[in-house]
Structure 1
């Protein structure tokens, strides 16, 4: 499965852990990476729906408007005993914004075409980096998400321009902890040109 990611990043991937491919795979990955177990994917969908509903104006700005926001909210509503068709699948970075804020985690997304890091947009980072929680998911075969275990201190993709320009002032500090690691990723020459390094403190 490593072949689904840019080859220069392979040395920094320690493991790739699969989840059930039932249309809920992205939410299964998040649940597992948060320590809930992948079968807790309905709770993840519920939490993200709540996040998108309670912070409607803010999330509409992040995802490109209210119409897109309503599409995303609708995609989160599924029967817990059924699989999910394509319009119910998780999309990144759209859902990435909704993940980092309620769980206060750093989300790294990897694929063959898009790599990005999304930081919490509302909270101040803990002073000790040991209290930061970073999770990584990979999008493979254009239709499936997997858990990715990264090497400690490895290069990280840069922030995407939307989240970096819409975070609260107190949240800008997150990126400063990871400036060197994001620069190391840029030095690998694998960063997607649609994502830029906006590192204002």
Structure 2
């Protein structure tokens, strides 16, 4: 629990560990999506397809050279992933939210972020899927189950600057919870 922001502790229902073979971020995402964590390769393929399908958009967002590097980091399917092929956050978070049309939280003790889809109109509240992962010990992702109206970390700057107009409403239902998180951090810096 000490690896996650204290403001979230009352809302964390469970933390699920996943295999630590260099694919832990992809295992955690697969598990969050209701897939078996061994479907890590499919997650990688889907994210590569997301980059390829929207080449211009991600080229504008990341720069063409970095978009190519991100693609290459995903394009690995060996037994154990070397460091250069681990999940790269925050950039992979943008791909995940858009590819799977989900709200994704990535909790890191001092740099948590919320990712929203870039190109879709949000579905009705009861159809929205919200998933969460966390980085522990600086090198291992886990799946996090949250409950209640937990405070939400800030939205990724990539979404703010690059979303399509139809996606703007994704943020509306979460404004109060985003403000709760910001208020907590402002108070902790001033206190």
| Shared fold, TM over 0.5 | yes
In the alignment, what sits opposite 1:133? 129
1:42 matched residue in structure 2 = 41
The residue number in structure 2 matching 1:69 is: 67
- State the match for 2:117 in structure 1: 120
* Partner Cα separation in structure 2 for residue 76 and residue 161 of structure 1: 22
Runs of 4+ with >4 A deviation:
none
The question of 1:90 aligning with 2:94 is answered no
Aligned-partner Cα distance in 1 for 2:119–2:132 = 20
Instruction: Tell me the number of residue pairs that the alignment of Structure 1 and Structure 2 aligns.
Output: 188
Aligned match of 2:144: 148
Confirm whether residue 31 of structure 1 aligns to residue 30 of structure 2.
Answer: yes
Q: Secondary structure at the match of 2:171?
A: helix
Aligned counterparts of 1:72 and 1:152: Cα–Cα separation in 2: 34
- DSSP 3-state at the match of 2:19: coil
Partner of 1:198: none
Structure 2 stretches of 5 or more lacking a match?
A: none
SS for the counterpart of 1:3 is: coil
Using structure 1 for the length normalisation, give the TM-score.
Answer: 0.89
Partners of 1:190 and 1:145 in 2: CA distance: 27
- Check the 8 A contact 2:94/2:158 in 1, yes or no: no
Would you say 1:111 and 2:108 are equivalent positions?
yes
| Maintained 8 Å contact 2:8/2:150 | no
Alpha carbons 2:120, 2:167 under 8 Å: kept: yes
Q: Secondary structure at the match of 1:4?
A: coil
Q: Does 1:102 align with 2:86?
A: no
CA distance in 1, matches of 2:60, 2:104: 19
1:173 is aligned to 169
Contact 2:7 2:151 in 1 (8 A): no
- Offset of residue 190 of structure 1: 6.7
Q: TM-score, normalised by structure 2?
A: 0.93
Q: Secondary structure at the match of 1:189?
A: helix
Instruction: Quickly say closer, same or farther: Cα 1:190–1:57, change in 2 above 3 A.
Output: farther
Residues 152-167 of structure 1: pairs in structure 2 closer than 5 A = 152-167=148-163
Q: Which has the higher helix share?
A: 2
